[in-house]
A and B are shown apart, each in its own frame.
Chain A
């Protein structure tokens, strides 16, 4: 029994992990490119591939074909971009919470933040009778306020992951009851409108949605990357991390704020699309099989799930445009179940 550390073997393991990370990223990016190309190509109005390419580059080349440009640049491109951005945002919100709270079930759509956005939006739709942008503002405010309430209620000489999770599910139950109550007291057509929003959809997406969400991500992603450095120490446990000089509370609060930002902006843009935040982290980590934390991979998975789900939602039934939220659950779940079954061979899920 020697305690000599075999440097060569550690290097080999590290190398293998790095290779695996790169392969996963490359595979996901490739899949995303294919899905994006399909999103440009598929649709009721047939556009040939050269037409699409010409249209996409028309701002640079100056070659204009009004009909095709409208379909490609005004309809399909904004929708696909919004799907990618919102999918990645949901995924990052999910994986941050799952990592911080050390529970694969602790995504924002389970610990109450999505419920906050939903309850506020349903209130705006049913009680105030507003629609459109007001609903988005309501959802954003609802998500942020709920997260703030959870954090403040969980604060007692610092927060612990377990307390945040339990208080989150308490808040979730209460907010779900608010929604149920409003549903039983409203007229059926109002319930239908609220229900459509709750499922989440890209059908009514405005070009401005992508700009707002993209701008928010430009701020949030660098913040997240900076804060993630403090997370390595925190994984050793709060006390060890503190003795190593890590600012545990600062890092945790910062990351939670960033995660809430991702969730709130994405929800305001497309509604509380279910399951993307929940599933992306576990999917990315199963793909990585222990070779890293998988934030980048989770964002790619989220974007992919959202984009593919929207393609299925648009084209599955010939006459009906389903909202994307109807499909993300099924699509993400099939992916997750397949991985759960496959993971028997590699023997690791987390």
Chain B
């Protein structure tokens, strides 16, 4: 008994040390993100700009007006995507579940496409609200459809309903894009997913939502652990299945909707980061959630930094770099380790 306890404590200590290391790595990447770009700025200058802002210095202005908002968006969006993916995989108990499969990205994309095609909107700051509303409505519809019928929103029904609604929305999107070249031209850049051009207004618009979503998600760890034992066991232990799944779903929608609103649809992060986190921490959402929350922004910001320097003078959008760096790494990891099934 005592031995088991000390083993348990050792594991917890190891995992906390891991979290601290991830936090340090995240800080380092964030500093790098402030320093890197078309104009490289030395780290001392970055530090000076943060601590003693000089409005006459061009470099200081670049950091405050361009790179700081962009870095904050990257941090927020990354954390939100990692968390929402982990929560959705837990709530649906499907390793393939992620915001895009449950219709969130398609809902956001349709709202943006309609905004461009019908209302003629072309400003990024308006896309934020469109995307947010689109993803929220879509997730509501998916959840209500999956809840119909006797046994309520089972994992399989959620996944199938999400895929079905996604297909409907994608059909409409494709129909519009094929008939309106102007919309295709505008949307093809948005739908890659990018952090560039995001200013402090966008941060202020989405930050409150993401904060609420993060609290909800981190608070759902125990419910997700219950659900992971299977609906019958969880129910026998006194858990309210429908409520748990609903709350977890709500957290995922707010997070994924906010992230998509701020940066466009970024598919890879939410899907794969939780698998990496699970490989390190083992089962137990108390650890999977914070690990996902820290690892995802490391991936996203790292990819953004690389995207800024890889093809000068232009940039490669973060959604593309994420997949190009993340996917081989993920595949290698899947090959090397025995990833835990859900």
> Is B175 within 8 A of A326, CB to CB?
yes
> Is A320 within 8 A of B168, CB to CB?
no
**Assembled-state Cα–Cα distance A332/B160 (Å):** 12
- Please, which residue of chain B has its CB at the minimum distance from the CB of A198? B174
Q: Does B202 contact A (CB under 8 A)?
A: no
**CB-CB < 8 A to B39: which residues of A?**
none
Q: Does A188 contact B (CB under 8 A)?
A: yes
Interface residues of B in 299-325 (CB under 8 A from A): 316-317, 319-320, 322-324
> Is B316 within 8 A of A330, CB to CB?
no
What are the interface flags for A278-304 relative to B under an 8 Å C-beta threshold, 1 for contact and 0 otherwise?
A: 110010000000000000000000000
What are the interface flags for A175-197 relative to B under an 8 Å C-beta threshold, 1 for contact and 0 otherwise?
A: 01100110110001001100110
> Is A196 within 8 A of B339, CB to CB?
no
Q: Provided the pairs A162-B95, A329-B168, A340-B146 are in contact, do residues A282 and B160 lie with their beta carbons within 8 angstroms?
A: yes
**CB-CB < 8 A to B171: which residues of A?**
274, 325-330, 333
> Is A275 within 8 A of B167, CB to CB?
yes
**Assembled-state Cα–Cα distance A162/B192 (Å):** 28
**Assembled-state Cα–Cα distance A274/B170 (Å):** 9
Q: Does B244 contact A (CB under 8 A)?
A: no
**CB-CB < 8 A to B331: which residues of A?**
153, 167, 170-171
**CB-CB < 8 A to A350: which residues of B?**
156
**Assembled-state Cα–Cα distance A180/B267 (Å):** 12
**CB-CB < 8 A to B177: which residues of A?**
195
Q: Does A227 contact B (CB under 8 A)?
A: no
> Is A191 within 8 A of B149, CB to CB?
no
Q: Provided the pairs A176-B323, A279-B164, A349-B157 are in contact, do residues A105 and B178 lie with their beta carbons within 8 angstroms?
A: no
> Is A173 within 8 A of B317, CB to CB?
no
- Give which listed residue, A110, A323, A340, contacts B149 with CB less than 8 A: A340
> Is B323 within 8 A of A174, CB to CB?
yes
> Is A333 within 8 A of B192, CB to CB?
no
**CB-CB < 8 A to A181: which residues of B?**
192, 316, 320
> Is B323 within 8 A of A329, CB to CB?
no
> Taking the nearest CB of chain B, how far is it from the CB of A278, in angstroms?
6
Q: Does A336 contact B (CB under 8 A)?
A: yes
Q: Does A347 contact B (CB under 8 A)?
A: yes
What are the interface flags for B170-211 relative to A under an 8 Å C-beta threshold, 1 for contact and 0 otherwise?
A: 111011011101001100110110000000000000000000
Interface residues of A in 302-332 (CB under 8 A from B): 320, 322-323, 325-330, 332
Q: Provided the pairs A153-B331, A180-B317, A350-B156 are in contact, do residues A169 and B178 lie with their beta carbons within 8 angstroms?
A: no
Q: Does B165 contact A (CB under 8 A)?
A: yes
Size of the B side of the interface (Cβ < 8 Å), in residues, is 58
**Assembled-state Cα–Cα distance A328/B179 (Å):** 17
**CB-CB < 8 A to A103: which residues of B?**
94-96
| Interface 9-residue window, one of B49-57, B217-225, B230-238, B268-276 | B268-276
Q: Does B154 contact A (CB under 8 A)?
A: yes
**Assembled-state Cα–Cα distance A165/B268 (Å):** 14
- Please, which residue of chain B has its CB at the minimum distance from the CB of A153? B331
**CB-CB < 8 A to B275: which residues of A?**
166
> Is A188 within 8 A of B96, CB to CB?
no
Q: Provided the pairs A105-B159, A333-B164 are in contact, do residues A167 and B268 lie with their beta carbons within 8 angstroms?
A: no
Q: Does A99 contact B (CB under 8 A)?
A: no
> Taking the nearest CB of chain A, how far is it from the CB of B91, in angstroms?
15
Q: Provided the pairs A167-B331, A188-B181 are in contact, do residues A173 and B192 lie with their beta carbons within 8 angstroms?
A: no
**CB-CB < 8 A to B327: which residues of A?**
170-171, 173-174, 177
- Give which listed residue, A162, A195, A333, A342, contacts B165 with CB less than 8 A: A333
Q: Provided the pairs A188-B185, A344-B150, A347-B151 are in contact, do residues A173 and B272 lie with their beta carbons within 8 angstroms?
A: yes
- Please, which residue of chain A has its CB at the minimum distance from the CB of B182? A188
**Assembled-state Cα–Cα distance A173/B275 (Å):** 15
**Assembled-state Cα–Cα distance A320/B151 (Å):** 42
**CB-CB < 8 A to B181: which residues of A?**
188, 192
> Is A336 within 8 A of B267, CB to CB?
no
What are the interface flags for A197-221 relative to B under an 8 Å C-beta threshold, 1 for contact and 0 otherwise?
A: 0010000000000000000000000
Q: Does A18 contact B (CB under 8 A)?
A: no
Q: Does A254 contact B (CB under 8 A)?
A: no
- Please, which residue of chain B has its CB at the minimum distance from the CB of A334? B168
- Please, which residue of chain B has its CB at the minimum distance from the CB of A327? B171
Interface centre among B94, B178, B324, B339 (most CB of A within 10 A): B178
> Is A325 within 8 A of B174, CB to CB?
yes
**CB-CB < 8 A to A344: which residues of B?**
148-151
> Is A169 within 8 A of B175, CB to CB?
no
> Is B328 within 8 A of A165, CB to CB?
no
Q: Does A54 contact B (CB under 8 A)?
A: no
> Is B319 within 8 A of A177, CB to CB?
yes
**Assembled-state Cα–Cα distance A122/B337 (Å):** 34
22 contacts across the A-B interface (CB closer than 8 A): A153-B331, A165-B95, A166-B330, A169-B96, A170-B330, A170-B331, A173-B327, A174-B324, A177-B268, A177-B327, A181-B192, A191-B185, A192-B181, A320-B179, A327-B171, A330-B167, A333-B167, A340-B160, A342-B149, A347-B150, A349-B154, A349-B157
10 A-B pairs closest in CB distance: A344-B149, A177-B323, A329-B167, A329-B171, A174-B327, A333-B164, A173-B268, A330-B171, A173-B323, A275-B167
* B residues neighboring A (CB under 8 Å): 94-97, 101, 145-146, 148-151, 154, 156-157, 159-161, 163-165, 167-168, 170-172, 174-175, 177-179, 181, 184-185, 188-189, 191-192, 267-268, 271-272, 275, 316-317, 319-320, 322-324, 326-328, 330-331, 334-335, 339, 341
* A residues neighboring B (CB under 8 Å): 103-106, 110, 153-154, 156, 162-163, 165-167, 169-171, 173-174, 176-177, 180-181, 183-184, 188, 191-192, 195-196, 199, 274-275, 278-279, 282, 320, 322-323, 325-330, 332-334, 336-337, 340-345, 347, 349-350
